[in-house]
């Protein structure tokens, strides 16, 4: 099942802009140790938009090999071009991935008919389960619950990462799509409430830096333990905010660099945070007990 505490994993780069596979190995091992349920590789947080198709597939392949069955790997397969999304899906369907995360086609703003045709083509390219990814702040288009329900009739569309932060959608999606349709929060600040209202987990940016606390919170929320989940979520709220002081994944990669998990390298047009944001991120990590004041 593609549920629980799922990390939207960053892609570490060397100073020359190549994928840092040694750092990737360390990250995969760390998340296994911390108890995360799955990793999304080559999603938005992984800077997939700046990767060639060959790089994209190689990174997913490497993550599968490094995970070695210890943690599920979910591959991002979305594109604003249906042909590209289908091509990526076909190539990665041969890898030991648990499924795909398929972002709504960005920029194009397709009609409902075009959206359905896009997802049908992607699903025809592989029998593996696919999660929809609704993030209108990135794509410029909002997939409404009624549209999700229609897409959910495609057999291998098994759930959605809902990143609007609109908690009213949880009950509506559950009503329209049924009890077996996987509902995942893609909005860290509201993820706890999303699950307490019936969601099945998160695909989280904050889980990159606080994986153990996120896992504990998700487990408590899915069990319906409101008090425990809220207390754990409160420990992460300031970090949630800090992870979005600039466009994702700029802050989270800076945070991981401060933690010594990778070098603060980005692919253009992404660059390191401005100095005030750097300081805010570092201070937030110190207050959360992730960094010492001397770091």
Q: Which residues pair with 159 in a beta bridge?
A: 131, 182
C-alpha 245/C-alpha 233 separation (Å) is 19
- Other Cβ atoms less than 10 A from the Cβ of 238: the count is 15
Q: Which two tokens stand for residue 104?
A: 């709504």
- 45 annotated as ligand-binding: yes
* pLDDT at position 1: 77
Q: Which CATH class is domain 4-226?
A: alpha beta
C-alpha 220/C-alpha 34 separation (Å) is 16
Using alpha carbons, select from 152, 135, 199 the residue that is nearest to residue 171. Answer: 199
* pLDDT at position 136: 87
Q: Which two tokens stand for residue 129?
A: 């389960």
**Residues known to be catalytic:** 133, 161
- 203 annotated as ligand-binding: yes
* pLDDT at position 294: 62
Q: What's 105's DSSP letter?
A: P
Q: Which residues pair with 41 in a beta bridge?
A: 75
Domain ranges of the chain: 4-226
- Walk along the chain (295 residues) and give the pLDDT tens digit of each residue: 799 999 999 999 999 999 999 999 999 999 999 999 999 999 999 999 999 999 999 999 999 999 999 999 999 999 999 999 999 999 999 999 999 999 999 888 888 889 889 999 999 999 999 999 999 888 888 889 999 999 999 999 999 999 999 999 999 999 999 999 999 999 999 999 999 999 999 999 999 999 999 999 999 999 999 999 999 999 999 999 999 999 999 999 999 999 999 999 999 999 999 999 999 999 999 999 999 866 5
Q: Assess contact for 163 and 135: CB atoms under 8 A.
A: yes
Q: Which two tokens stand for residue 235?
A: 């420990």
CB-facing half-sphere around the CA of 291: CA atoms within 13 A: 22
Q: Which two tokens stand for residue 54?
A: 């060959």
Q: Which two tokens stand for residue 159?
A: 């759930």
């Amino acid at each position: 099942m593609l549920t629980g505490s799922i990390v939207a994993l960053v892609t570490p780069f060397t100073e020359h802009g190549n994928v840092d596979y040694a750092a990737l190995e360390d990250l995969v091992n760390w998340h296994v140790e911390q108890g995360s349920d799955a990793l999304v590789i080559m999603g938005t947080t992984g800077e997939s938009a700046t990767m060639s198709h060959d790089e994209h597939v190689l990174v997913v392949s490497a993550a599968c090999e490094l995970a070695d069955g210890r943690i599920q790997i979910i591959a991002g397969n979305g594109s604003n071009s249906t042909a590209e999304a289908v091509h990526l899906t076909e190539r990665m369907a041969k890898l030991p991935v648990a499924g795909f995360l398929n972002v709504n086609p960005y920029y194009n703003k397709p009609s409902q008919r075009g959206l359905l045709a896009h997802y049908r083509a992607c699903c025809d390219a592989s029998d593996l389960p696919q999660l929809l990814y609704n993030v209108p702040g990135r794509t410029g288009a909002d997939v409404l619950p009624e549209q999700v329900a229609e897409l959910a009739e495609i057999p291998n569309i098994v759930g959605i990462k809902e990143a609007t932060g609109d908690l009213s959608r949880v009950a509506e999606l559950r009503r329209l799509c049924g009890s077996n349709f996987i509902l995942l929060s893609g909005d860290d600040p509201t993820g706890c409430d999303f699950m307490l209202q019936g969601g099945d987990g998160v695909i989280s940016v904050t889980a990159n830096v606080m994986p153990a606390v996120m896992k504990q919170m998700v487990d408590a929320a899915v069990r319906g333990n409101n008090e425990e989940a809220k207390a754990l979520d409160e420990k992460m709220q300031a970090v949630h905010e800090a992870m979005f002081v600039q466009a994702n994944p700029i802050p989270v990669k800076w945070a991981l660099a401060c933690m010594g998990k990778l070098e603060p390298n980005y692919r253009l047009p992404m660059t390191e945070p401005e100095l005030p944001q750097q300081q805010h991120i570092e201070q937030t990590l110190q207050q959360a007990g992730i960094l010492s004041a001397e770091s």
